[in-house]
Amino acid sequence: MAETSKDNILIRDIHTKNIMTKSTLPVGGYSVNPYVGCTHGCKYCYASFMKRFTGHKEPWGTFLDVKHWQEIKNPQKYRGQRVVIGSVTDGYIPQEEQFQNTRRILKQLKNSGAELLICTKSDLVIRDIELLKEFEKVTVSWSVNTLNEDFRSDMDNAVSIERRLSAMKKIYDSGIRTVCFISPIFPGITDFNEIFQRVKKQCDLVWLENLNLRGSFKQEIMTYIKEKYPHLTDLYNSIYNKGDRSYFKSLEMQAEQLAKDNNCPYTDNELPYGRAKPGHPIIVNYFYHEEVRGSENTGKRNHKINFP
């Protein structure tokens, strides 16, 4: 039965046979989404396509299906496999505090030998530090595409950038591999150099990904830019209506230069799991990476199962 929470989220319970979904990507691996829907409600969320398959008519960010599943039967099956927690939701939305689905998954996979990748915009993951430390290979990634809290709060309902960065530091200091995922890069708004300088001592990897406006949210974002950043309207028109790639090409060159200037490895290829030299994170170029994925491009975060 559905109920509405005090913050007006429509919540219901659903049962699923298997919480682990095999990825259809060539690199293999699994994805786990403890919830359907995501109350972070980002305006640019590529995962909002999920609504089509789940029968939800409510606006993205205002509903949440809490999954129930039978305990993972043979966790050893996932030994050496890459398991992404949160490819079309965020495992650490505020409601996780109450439902603890993500924590349940961690407990069930504890001795499996799986490589974990957690993608979040929250600091609730700190709650699970001790549990995470029991995994041999685990990476926690935070999406940070601005240091400007006003722009951030225009775009999502997740915790502040300051809280994300402070969580990243705590997790990094506890010995867990961290990623600063600078995504989506908004032309003329996201300053990746500035973000890099803030995070370089507290992450192993910096991933860069352009804003892709092919989703149903394109119009909303274009209208937002027109109203709040009118001086960028022409730039957005040329990139998103005329297909001009020169802006992101030039950002790629700047990223490569940033890597050189800071003595950081730079790559657009998958690398084996490993930690970076402190203060010198590996910079990974995922610009226009969704096109490489082709028909697999069903969610913005799929590519993140490529452990750099």
List of residues contacting ligand SF4 (CB under 6 A): 38, 40-42, 45, 47, 89-90, 121, 156
Cis bond before residue 184 (omega within 30° of 0): yes
Closest to ligand SF4 by CB, 182 vs 258, is: 182
Closest to ligand SF4 by CB, 115 vs 156, is: 156
Can you read off the two tokens belonging to residue 264?
């950081």
Spatial separation of the C-alpha atoms in residues 139 and 79, rounded to whole Å: 16
Taking the complex as a whole, how short is the minimal distance between the CB of residue 89 and ligand SF4, in angstroms?
5
CA-based angle 139:108:84, to the nearest 5?
Answer: 35
Taking the complex as a whole, how short is the minimal distance between the CB of residue 90 and ligand SF4, in angstroms?
4
Taking the complex as a whole, how short is the minimal distance between the CB of residue 294 and ligand SF4, in angstroms?
21
Closest to ligand SF4 by CB, 159 vs 264, is: 159
Closest to ligand SF4 by CB, 101 vs 112, is: 101
Q: What share of the chain is helix, strand, coil (3-state, %, to 5)?
A: 35, 20, 45
Buried b (16+ CB within 10 A) or exposed e, 68-90: ebeebeebeebeebbbbbbbbbb
Closest to ligand SF4 by CB, 38 vs 167, is: 38
Taking the complex as a whole, how short is the minimal distance between the CB of residue 18 and ligand SF4, in angstroms?
21
Taking the complex as a whole, how short is the minimal distance between the CB of residue 157 and ligand SF4, in angstroms?
8
Closest to ligand SF4 by CB, 89 vs 112, is: 89
Taking the complex as a whole, how short is the minimal distance between the CB of residue 121 and ligand SF4, in angstroms?
5
Distances (CA, A) of 213 to 28, 50, 235, 300: 26, 17, 13, 11
Spatial separation of the C-alpha atoms in residues 105 and 68, rounded to whole Å: 11
Region of 42 on the Ramachandran plot (φ > 0 left; ψ -120 to 50 alpha; else beta): beta
Residues β-bridged to residue 143:
181
